[in-house]
Amino acid sequence: MAKRLSPQLFVSRLSFYTTNQELKRLFSRFGVVTEARMILDPKTQRPKGFGFVSFESEVEAQKALKAMNGRLHDVLSYFCFIKKESMPHQSSETSLVFRL
């Protein structure tokens, strides 16, 4: 059975000063962003340099992925990966890795 792609992107190589609001603003030009979340270090509460952006649809996520993957923005490079939804007994990791 084919797996469905999730409308969630993993975004890495972000500035440690990036906020959730900036991440959402950056990706909102590609569609409706339902969540933009920077991952924080539990001890320092500072961003770890990566996060997740969720869209309303897979089409919007694909559009953002095509436009933003490996691009420079404000002297930072963004690498986007798309996650697949999986069956409970399968790994949630994907073999689709998009890089420069």
Write down the mean pLDDT value for the chain: 75
Give me the pLDDT at residue 90, please.
39
pTM: 0.70
pLDDT at residue 95 tops 90: no
- Assign 43 a pLDDT band (cuts: 50, 70, 90): very high
Residue spans of beta strands (DSSP E) within 1-100: 5-12, 33-40, 47-55, 71-73, 76-84
11-33 exposure pattern, b = at least 16 Cβ within 10 A, e = fewer = beebeeebeeeebbebbeebbeb
- Assign 15 a pLDDT band (cuts: 50, 70, 90): confident
